[in-house]
């Protein structure tokens, strides 16, 4: 069978408050830590939703919109850069699984 | 809702729902709070609910035409794989066909919602039909403590008070950390990330392909090539008209080997044995979630304090000791035991730390902690690098030689095995792993 790309996979996810343009991010990332002292930038490859990316200069960026609340980054980041909370039901993002 | 509750439960997953059901049946006044849109909406599992505790919560649940579960398991398979081959231990028995079933495959968004409906029914039949609630769409931000005792919770500006609080918030246990029962930062060392796809088939196709009849189902675990050298394993479970297929991957190993979960998932799906199983299906959901490993080194040691108990994955009650990935059954039993302890605490009007400790004592006495304590060596063995590549390669190499018929003189099986061992490992490796295995089992 055809193997899906990550954007195709994330396209199947039902996110909450998708119509809202302003959402309150439930994860805050201090990318200054990523881009100064972190030796591995692991979130850019272990995150199952690729919320962490590296630009051409090798700098780490974070976006919360695709987050599926798995928790991976909270454990993988051993540099103290990730502050993780659950999304607010009204003004946050996060997921509603159809199957789970 | 101004009045105080006997108990506030945080999280409507398996643990929280089991606790709620038990409290409702014991005529207790409680509030079950869930952050998702509905119970189950944020919950992910593999997943098989092993054991028969579900029958205690919802007697004869199988009689319902469209209950929340998908299929019962009567067919188990453990598959070792190298790049091209798979070698399986396969067990199927009609012994498992009769209820109470000893394992049912569930999809949590459906199962938890169904179980929550049963909790609502139990509430309606209790003395607190108008005073106990299942309340979704609410995020608990803080556990309230006064004079060293937990007295309730805060959500936004609102505070709710209770004699006791059960934390059943799942593996990402922020409140358990807040009250000091888990470290603020939990390292990746003994945690895993699960990734999963739900693949839909025509129901007839699925049933024919996996030789299912009625509501029977199969569970298949995979070791070896599935994880592309990363510690962990794969799984495939048959649902009603879908399969759940995925991987659990050691988080520290992923970080060190610089690998990406969804790429490994495609790698797994491309394996010839797996590709043959899922051909023609349509992916309808992709999900991921962290799971704990059952390694006691990272589990919260104390699961209670005055007025509070921690259940399910929030207490890292999950274990894969090679036989099955057990988590939901541990969650269910721990929820039941916590609710029973709270019922007793109410009778005695004693919610002190000593009273709450009776929950952990009961858990230690139950199969949950007995198994977790007894199978620590098996947990360590499964995460041994030898099990990730050498062992599956050796087994598949032997299988390939053993099952090849070449019209030439055939070696004795033990010589074939010896060749495979030399090619992929050494006898010393086998002695070491054998010693570990003997200890583990």
Q: What domain range includes position A76?
A: 6-84
pTM above 0.90, yes or no: yes
The number of beta carbons lying within 10 Å of the beta carbon of residue B148 is 10
Model confidence at B411: pLDDT above 80 = yes
Kindly state whether residue A67 falls inside one of the protein's structural domains: yes
Pick from B244, B41, B101, B110: which is nearest to A15 by CA?
A: B41
Q: What is the DSSP track for B261-314? A: HHHHHHHHHHSHHHHHHHTT-EEEEEEEEEEE---TTTS-S--EETTEEE-GGG
Pairing of strands B319-320, B325-326: antiparallel
Burial class of B31 by CB neighbour count within 10 A (0 to 12, 13 to 18, 19+)? buried
Query: Hey, what are B320's tokens?
Result: 């894969």
Which run of H or of E encompasses B353? helix B353-365
Kindly state whether residue A91 falls inside one of the protein's structural domains: no
Burial class of B27 by CB neighbour count within 10 A (0 to 12, 13 to 18, 19+)? middle
Q: What is the pLDDT of residue B2?
A: 57
Model confidence at B1: pLDDT above 80 = no
- pLDDT tens across B257-282, in order? 999 999 999 999 999 999 999 999 99
Average pLDDT over residues B351-359: 98
- pLDDT tens across A25-39, in order? 999 999 999 999 999
Q: Which fold has domain B61-98+187-296?
A: D-Amino Acid Oxidase; Chain A, domain 2 (3.30.9)
- Chain A contact present for B322, CB below 8 A: no
Kindly state whether residue A99 falls inside one of the protein's structural domains: no
Taking an 8 Å cut-off on Cβ atoms, the answer to whether B254 and A80 are in contact is: no
Q: What is the pLDDT of residue B293?
A: 93
Task: Count structural domains, chain A.
Answer: 1
Bridge partners, B193 (sequence order) = B249, B290
- Chain A contact present for B421, CB below 8 A: no
State in words which class domain B5-49+108-186+298-365 has.
alpha beta
Q: What is the pLDDT of residue A84?
A: 97
Taking an 8 Å cut-off on Cβ atoms, the answer to whether A78 and B41 are in contact is: no
- Chain A contact present for B228, CB below 8 A: no
Which run of H or of E encompasses B256? helix B251-257
Query: Hey, what are B171's tokens?
Result: 């593996």
Which run of H or of E encompasses B365? helix B353-365
Average pLDDT over residues B324-343: 97
CATH label of the domain that carries residue A44: 3.30.70.20
Q: What percent of chain B has pLDDT over 70?
A: 100
Q: CA of B179: how far to CAs of A85, B155, B161, B368, in Å?
A: 15, 16, 16, 24
- pLDDT tens across B272-324, in order? 999 999 999 999 999 999 999 999 998 999 999 999 999 999 999 999 888 88
Kindly state whether residue A98 falls inside one of the protein's structural domains: no
Which candidate from A46, A95, A99 shows the least CB-CB separation from B255? A46
Question: Half-sphere exposure of B117 toward its Cβ, with a 13 Å CA cutoff?
Answer: 10
A to B CB pairs, distance under 8 Å: 145
Domain ranges of chain B: 5-49+108-186+298-365, 61-98+187-296, 380-404+411-440
Q: Which residues of A40-78 are buried (b: 16+ CB within 10 A; e: fewer)?
A: bbbbbbbbbbbbbeeeeeeebebebebbbbbbbbbbbbb
Which candidate from A6, A40, A89 shows the least CB-CB separation from B139? A89
Query: Hey, what are B337's tokens?
Result: 């035991």
Q: Tell me which of B262, B264, B284, B292 to substitute to probe the interface with A (most A C-beta atoms closer than 10 Å).
A: B262
Decide: A90 and A24 in contact? Cβ < 8 Å: no
- Chain B contact present for A33, CB below 8 A: no
Please report residues of A whose CB lies closer than 8 A to that of B199: 1
Q: What is the pLDDT of residue B321?
A: 84
Model confidence at B441: pLDDT above 80 = no
Please report residues of B whose CB lies closer than 8 A to that of A69: 42, 172, 289
Kindly state whether residue A75 falls inside one of the protein's structural domains: yes
């Amino acid at each position: 069978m055809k193997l899906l790309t990550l954007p195709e996979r994330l396209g199947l996810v039902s996110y909450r408050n998708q119509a809202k343009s302003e959402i309150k991010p439930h994860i805050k990332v201090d990318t200054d830590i990523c881009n100064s002292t972190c030796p591995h930038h692991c979130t850019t490859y272990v995150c199952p939703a690729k919320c962490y990316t590296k630009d051409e200069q090798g700098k780490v960026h974070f976006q919360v919109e695709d987050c599926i609340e798995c928790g991976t980054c909270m454990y993988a980041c051993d540099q103290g850069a990730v502050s993780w909370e659950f999304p607010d039901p009204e003004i946050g993002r996060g997921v509603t699984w159809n199957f789970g | 809702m101004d009045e105080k509750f006997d108990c506030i439960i945080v999280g409507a997953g398996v643990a929280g729902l089991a606790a709620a059901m038990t409290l409702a049946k014991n005529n207790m006044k409680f509030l079950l709070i869930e952050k998702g849109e509905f119970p189950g909406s944020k919950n992910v599992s593999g997943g098989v609910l092993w054991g028969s505790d579900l029958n205690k919560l919802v007697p004869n649940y199988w009689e319902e035409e469209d209950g929340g579960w998908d299929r019962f398991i009567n067919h188990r398979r453990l598959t070792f794989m190298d790049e091209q081959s798979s070698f399986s231990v396969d067990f199927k028995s009609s012994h498992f066909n009769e209820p109470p079933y000893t394992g049912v495959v569930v999809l949590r968004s459906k199962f938890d919602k169904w179980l929550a409906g049963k909790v609502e029914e139990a509430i309606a039949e209790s003395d607190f039909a108008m005073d106990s609630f299942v309340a979704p769409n609410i995020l608990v931000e803080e556990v309230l403590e006064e004079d060293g005792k937990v007295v309730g919770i805060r959500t936004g500006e609102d505070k709710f008070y209770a004699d006791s609080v059960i934390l059943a918030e799942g593996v990402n246990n922020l409140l358990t950390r807040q009250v000091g029962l888990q470290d603020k930062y939990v390292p990746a060392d003994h945690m895993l990330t699960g990734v999963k796809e739900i693949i839909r088939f025509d129901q007839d196709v699925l049933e024919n392909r996996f030789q299912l009849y009625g509501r029977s189902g199969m569970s298949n675990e995979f070791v070896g090539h599935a994880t592309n050298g990363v510690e962990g394993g794969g799984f495939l479970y048959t649902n009603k008209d879908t399969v759940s297929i995925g991987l659990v991957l050691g988080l520290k190993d992923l970080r060190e080997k610089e690998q990406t979960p969804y790429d490994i998932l495609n790698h797994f799906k491309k394996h010839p044995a797996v590709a043959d199983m899922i051909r023609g299906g349509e992916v309808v959901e992709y999900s991921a979630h962290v799971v704990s490993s059952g390694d006691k080194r990272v589990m919260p040691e104390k699961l209670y304090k005055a007025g509070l108990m921690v259940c399910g994955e929030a207490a890292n009650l999950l274990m894969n000791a090679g036989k099955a990935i057990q988590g939901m059954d541990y969650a269910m039993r721990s929820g039941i035991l916590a609710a029973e302890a709270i019922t007793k605490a109410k009778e005695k009007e004693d919610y002190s730390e000593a009273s709450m400790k009776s929950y952990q004592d009961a858990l230690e006495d139950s199969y949950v902690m007995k198994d977790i304590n007894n199978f620590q060596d098996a947990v360590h063995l499964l995460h041994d690098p030898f099990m990730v590549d050498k062992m599956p390669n050796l087994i598949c190499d032997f299988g390939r030689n053993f099952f090849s018929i070449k019209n030439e003189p055939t070696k004795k099986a033990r010589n074939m095995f010896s060749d495979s061992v030399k090619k992929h490992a050494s006898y010393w490796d086998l002695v070491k792993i054998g010693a570990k295995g003997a200890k583990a089992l």
